[in-house]
Structure 1
Amino acid sequence: MPDNPLLPMIAQVFDQMPFNRLLGLKVTRFAEDSVEVCFNWSEQLIGNPLQQILHGGVISSVLDVAGGIMAVSSALGRLTDVAPEQLFARLGKMSTIDIRTDYLRPGRGELFIATARVIRSGNKVAVCRMELHNEQGKHIALGTGTYLVG
Protein backbone atom coordinates (compact mmCIF):
# COMPACT_ATOMS: atom_id res chain seq x y z
CA MET A 1 0.00 0.00 0.00
CA PRO A 2 1.55 3.35 -0.99
CA ASP A 3 1.96 6.07 1.60
CA ASN A 4 -0.86 8.55 1.99
CA PRO A 5 -0.30 11.67 -0.15
CA LEU A 6 -1.27 13.81 2.88
CA LEU A 7 1.87 12.80 4.80
CA PRO A 8 4.12 15.50 3.28
CA MET A 9 1.50 18.17 4.09
CA ILE A 10 1.21 16.93 7.69
CA ALA A 11 5.02 16.91 8.08
CA GLN A 12 5.23 20.44 6.69
CA VAL A 13 2.62 21.70 9.20
CA PHE A 14 4.64 20.24 12.10
CA ASP A 15 7.94 21.54 10.70
CA GLN A 16 6.51 25.07 10.52
CA MET A 17 5.05 25.24 14.05
CA PRO A 18 6.89 28.06 15.87
CA PHE A 19 7.64 26.00 19.00
CA ASN A 20 8.97 23.11 16.93
CA ARG A 21 11.21 25.52 15.02
CA LEU A 22 12.42 27.01 18.32
CA LEU A 23 13.54 23.54 19.39
CA GLY A 24 15.09 22.90 15.97
CA LEU A 25 12.82 19.93 15.21
CA LYS A 26 12.71 18.47 11.73
CA VAL A 27 10.59 15.59 10.47
CA THR A 28 13.21 13.41 8.76
CA ARG A 29 11.19 10.29 8.00
CA PHE A 30 7.43 9.85 7.87
CA ALA A 31 5.44 6.85 6.73
CA GLU A 32 1.97 5.58 7.61
CA ASP A 33 3.37 3.33 10.35
CA SER A 34 6.18 5.43 11.86
CA VAL A 35 7.80 8.85 12.11
CA GLU A 36 11.26 10.16 12.91
CA VAL A 37 11.87 13.66 14.26
CA CYS A 38 15.43 14.92 14.76
CA PHE A 39 17.09 17.87 16.43
CA ASN A 40 20.63 18.92 17.21
CA TRP A 41 22.19 19.66 20.59
CA SER A 42 21.95 23.32 21.56
CA GLU A 43 23.00 25.12 24.73
CA GLN A 44 19.56 26.75 24.79
CA LEU A 45 18.05 23.30 25.49
CA ILE A 46 20.13 22.61 28.63
CA GLY A 47 18.16 21.75 31.75
CA ASN A 48 21.06 21.08 34.09
CA PRO A 49 24.03 23.38 33.44
CA LEU A 50 26.33 21.39 35.74
CA GLN A 51 25.75 18.15 33.86
CA GLN A 52 25.15 19.76 30.43
CA ILE A 53 22.07 17.63 29.69
CA LEU A 54 18.78 18.26 27.92
CA HIS A 55 15.93 19.81 29.88
CA GLY A 56 13.24 17.24 30.71
CA GLY A 57 10.60 19.51 29.21
CA VAL A 58 12.43 19.46 25.87
CA ILE A 59 12.51 15.66 25.95
CA SER A 60 8.81 15.41 26.78
CA SER A 61 7.91 18.02 24.15
CA VAL A 62 9.81 16.21 21.42
CA LEU A 63 8.14 12.91 22.32
CA ASP A 64 4.77 14.69 22.23
CA VAL A 65 5.48 16.10 18.77
CA ALA A 66 6.45 12.68 17.41
CA GLY A 67 3.38 11.05 18.96
CA GLY A 68 1.14 13.86 17.73
CA ILE A 69 2.31 13.41 14.15
CA MET A 70 1.51 9.71 14.29
CA ALA A 71 -1.88 10.35 15.89
CA VAL A 72 -2.75 12.84 13.14
CA SER A 73 -1.55 10.38 10.50
CA SER A 74 -3.71 7.60 11.94
CA ALA A 75 -6.78 9.84 12.03
CA LEU A 76 -6.30 11.11 8.49
CA GLY A 77 -5.03 7.80 7.10
CA ARG A 78 -8.26 7.02 5.33
CA LEU A 79 -8.37 10.40 3.60
CA THR A 80 -6.54 10.69 0.30
CA ASP A 81 -8.32 13.53 -1.44
CA VAL A 82 -8.79 16.49 0.89
CA ALA A 83 -8.19 20.18 0.30
CA PRO A 84 -5.47 21.86 2.43
CA GLU A 85 -8.12 24.04 4.11
CA GLN A 86 -10.02 20.94 5.26
CA LEU A 87 -6.80 19.34 6.48
CA PHE A 88 -5.86 22.44 8.51
CA ALA A 89 -9.38 22.63 9.98
CA ARG A 90 -9.12 19.01 11.17
CA LEU A 91 -5.58 19.52 12.49
CA GLY A 92 -6.77 22.50 14.53
CA LYS A 93 -9.17 20.26 16.48
CA MET A 94 -6.60 17.58 17.37
CA SER A 95 -4.73 17.78 20.67
CA THR A 96 -2.84 15.91 23.37
CA ILE A 97 -5.03 14.41 26.11
CA ASP A 98 -2.25 12.86 28.17
CA ILE A 99 1.45 12.07 27.89
CA ARG A 100 3.68 9.99 30.09
CA THR A 101 7.45 10.35 29.83
CA ASP A 102 9.92 7.90 31.36
CA TYR A 103 13.44 9.35 31.56
CA LEU A 104 15.90 6.48 31.19
CA ARG A 105 19.25 8.30 31.17
CA PRO A 106 20.61 11.86 30.90
CA GLY A 107 20.05 13.60 27.57
CA ARG A 108 23.59 13.76 26.20
CA GLY A 109 24.60 13.76 22.56
CA GLU A 110 25.00 15.84 19.44
CA LEU A 111 21.92 14.63 17.55
CA PHE A 112 18.66 13.36 19.01
CA ILE A 113 16.14 11.16 17.19
CA ALA A 114 12.55 10.72 18.33
CA THR A 115 10.47 7.94 16.82
CA ALA A 116 6.81 7.06 17.24
CA ARG A 117 4.26 4.49 16.21
CA VAL A 118 0.54 4.08 16.80
CA ILE A 119 -0.53 1.51 19.37
CA ARG A 120 -4.27 2.01 18.84
CA SER A 121 -6.32 4.39 16.79
CA GLY A 122 -10.06 4.86 17.16
CA ASN A 123 -12.60 7.36 15.89
CA LYS A 124 -11.97 9.80 18.75
CA VAL A 125 -8.67 8.85 20.40
CA ALA A 126 -5.27 7.53 19.31
CA VAL A 127 -2.56 6.12 21.59
CA CYS A 128 1.08 6.25 20.51
CA ARG A 129 4.41 4.95 21.79
CA MET A 130 7.44 7.24 21.43
CA GLU A 131 11.19 6.86 22.01
CA LEU A 132 14.14 9.26 22.10
CA HIS A 133 17.70 8.15 21.27
CA ASN A 134 20.93 10.02 20.65
CA GLU A 135 23.17 9.58 17.61
CA GLN A 136 24.97 6.71 19.36
CA GLY A 137 21.71 4.80 19.77
CA LYS A 138 21.53 5.38 23.54
CA HIS A 139 17.92 5.22 24.70
CA ILE A 140 17.24 8.46 26.60
CA ALA A 141 13.48 8.37 27.14
CA LEU A 142 10.25 6.71 26.15
CA GLY A 143 6.71 7.94 26.27
CA THR A 144 3.09 7.02 25.78
CA GLY A 145 0.73 9.65 24.46
CA THR A 146 -3.05 9.79 24.18
CA TYR A 147 -4.39 12.16 21.53
CA LEU A 148 -7.81 13.56 20.64
CA VAL A 149 -8.24 12.90 16.92
CA GLY A 150 -11.98 13.09 16.28
Structure 2
Amino acid sequence: MHSTFEIHIRRYGATPHVTPVGELDVDCDQAPNDVRMALDHGVAVVACDMRRLTFLDNADLHYLLGLARDTNSRGITFFAYNWQAQPEQLLDRTDDLALPDGQGRRTAPTRILRRPLRQAAASVRAADTTRAGTDGRRRQVAALP
Protein backbone atom coordinates (compact mmCIF):
# COMPACT_ATOMS: atom_id res chain seq x y z
CA MET A 1 0.00 0.00 0.00
CA HIS A 2 1.38 3.40 -0.96
CA SER A 3 0.50 6.35 1.26
CA THR A 4 -0.12 9.91 0.16
CA PHE A 5 2.47 12.25 1.60
CA GLU A 6 3.81 15.66 0.68
CA ILE A 7 6.24 18.11 2.19
CA HIS A 8 5.57 21.78 1.56
CA ILE A 9 8.60 24.03 1.99
CA ARG A 10 8.26 27.81 1.90
CA ARG A 11 11.19 30.05 2.64
CA TYR A 12 10.93 33.40 4.40
CA GLY A 13 14.36 34.97 4.61
CA ALA A 14 16.69 32.65 6.56
CA THR A 15 13.81 30.40 7.71
CA PRO A 16 12.38 27.51 5.71
CA HIS A 17 8.87 26.65 6.93
CA VAL A 18 8.31 22.93 6.49
CA THR A 19 4.82 21.42 6.55
CA PRO A 20 4.58 17.63 6.24
CA VAL A 21 1.13 16.61 4.99
CA GLY A 22 -0.34 13.13 5.39
CA GLU A 23 1.27 9.93 6.60
CA LEU A 24 5.06 9.88 6.90
CA ASP A 25 6.02 6.23 6.65
CA VAL A 26 8.52 3.95 4.96
CA ASP A 27 6.90 4.48 1.54
CA CYS A 28 7.86 8.18 1.61
CA ASP A 29 11.58 7.75 1.08
CA GLN A 30 12.33 10.80 -1.11
CA ALA A 31 10.12 13.47 0.47
CA PRO A 32 12.13 13.94 3.70
CA ASN A 33 15.33 14.35 1.69
CA ASP A 34 13.80 17.48 0.14
CA VAL A 35 14.07 19.12 3.56
CA ARG A 36 17.80 18.42 3.79
CA MET A 37 18.24 19.85 0.29
CA ALA A 38 16.59 23.12 1.42
CA LEU A 39 19.23 23.67 4.13
CA ASP A 40 21.83 25.87 2.51
CA HIS A 41 24.34 28.20 4.13
CA GLY A 42 21.85 31.02 4.67
CA VAL A 43 19.45 29.05 6.89
CA ALA A 44 19.21 30.14 10.54
CA VAL A 45 15.99 28.41 11.68
CA VAL A 46 13.95 25.47 10.38
CA ALA A 47 10.31 25.71 11.47
CA CYS A 48 8.26 22.51 11.08
CA ASP A 49 4.50 22.84 11.40
CA MET A 50 3.28 19.32 12.21
CA ARG A 51 -0.46 20.11 12.25
CA ARG A 52 -1.09 18.22 8.98
CA LEU A 53 1.12 15.22 9.80
CA THR A 54 -1.44 12.53 10.61
CA PHE A 55 0.86 9.51 10.98
CA LEU A 56 4.53 8.96 11.78
CA ASP A 57 6.31 5.60 11.87
CA ASN A 58 9.36 4.69 13.92
CA ALA A 59 11.82 4.84 11.01
CA ASP A 60 10.78 8.36 10.08
CA LEU A 61 10.83 9.44 13.72
CA HIS A 62 14.51 8.49 13.68
CA TYR A 63 14.91 10.49 10.46
CA LEU A 64 13.35 13.57 12.13
CA LEU A 65 15.58 13.14 15.18
CA GLY A 66 18.64 12.93 12.93
CA LEU A 67 17.54 16.00 11.00
CA ALA A 68 17.07 17.99 14.22
CA ARG A 69 20.48 16.90 15.55
CA ASP A 70 22.15 17.65 12.21
CA THR A 71 20.69 21.15 12.01
CA ASN A 72 21.68 21.88 15.61
CA SER A 73 25.23 20.69 14.98
CA ARG A 74 25.42 23.17 12.09
CA GLY A 75 24.19 26.04 14.26
CA ILE A 76 20.66 26.01 12.83
CA THR A 77 17.70 26.13 15.19
CA PHE A 78 15.21 23.30 14.58
CA PHE A 79 11.69 23.90 15.89
CA ALA A 80 8.70 21.55 15.46
CA TYR A 81 5.24 22.49 16.70
CA ASN A 82 1.53 21.61 16.43
CA TRP A 83 2.07 17.87 16.89
CA GLN A 84 -1.04 15.77 16.24
CA ALA A 85 -2.27 12.81 18.33
CA GLN A 86 -0.64 9.79 16.66
CA PRO A 87 2.81 11.34 16.09
CA GLU A 88 2.80 12.73 19.64
CA GLN A 89 1.85 9.31 21.01
CA LEU A 90 4.85 7.81 19.19
CA LEU A 91 7.09 10.49 20.73
CA ASP A 92 5.66 9.68 24.19
CA ARG A 93 6.17 5.93 23.77
CA THR A 94 9.71 6.43 22.53
CA ASP A 95 10.52 8.54 25.59
CA ASP A 96 8.86 5.98 27.90
CA LEU A 97 11.14 3.25 26.52
CA ALA A 98 14.36 5.25 26.94
CA LEU A 99 16.98 3.49 29.00
CA PRO A 100 18.73 5.30 31.84
CA ASP A 101 22.18 6.71 31.15
CA GLY A 102 25.29 5.68 33.10
CA GLN A 103 24.18 7.74 36.11
CA GLY A 104 20.66 6.31 36.23
CA ARG A 105 18.98 9.33 34.62
CA ARG A 106 16.42 8.95 31.88
CA THR A 107 16.70 11.46 29.10
CA ALA A 108 13.80 11.77 26.67
CA PRO A 109 15.25 11.06 23.20
CA THR A 110 12.54 13.12 21.49
CA ARG A 111 13.09 16.26 23.59
CA ILE A 112 14.89 17.88 20.64
CA LEU A 113 11.61 17.67 18.67
CA ARG A 114 9.47 19.14 21.46
CA ARG A 115 11.45 22.17 22.60
CA PRO A 116 9.76 25.55 22.54
CA LEU A 117 11.31 27.93 20.01
CA ARG A 118 13.05 29.97 22.69
CA GLN A 119 14.67 26.86 24.18
CA ALA A 120 15.64 25.49 20.75
CA ALA A 121 17.35 28.75 19.82
CA ALA A 122 19.13 28.97 23.18
CA SER A 123 20.39 25.42 22.77
CA VAL A 124 21.96 26.19 19.39
CA ARG A 125 23.56 29.36 20.73
CA ALA A 126 24.99 27.52 23.73
CA ALA A 127 26.36 24.70 21.56
CA ASP A 128 28.06 27.03 19.08
CA THR A 129 29.14 30.38 20.45
CA THR A 130 31.79 30.84 17.77
CA ARG A 131 31.17 31.84 14.20
CA ALA A 132 33.57 32.37 11.34
CA GLY A 133 34.54 36.03 10.89
CA THR A 134 34.62 37.65 7.47
CA ASP A 135 38.40 37.12 7.34
CA GLY A 136 37.93 33.36 7.83
CA ARG A 137 39.24 33.28 11.41
CA ARG A 138 37.09 31.99 14.25
CA ARG A 139 35.91 34.59 16.74
CA GLN A 140 33.81 34.54 19.89
CA VAL A 141 30.35 36.06 19.70
CA ALA A 142 28.18 36.92 22.63
CA ALA A 143 25.35 34.51 23.24
CA LEU A 144 21.95 36.17 23.30
CA PRO A 145 19.94 35.97 26.52
Q: Normalising by structure 1, what TM-score?
A: 0.27
Structure 1 or 2: larger strand share?
1
TM-score, scaled relative to structure 2: 0.28
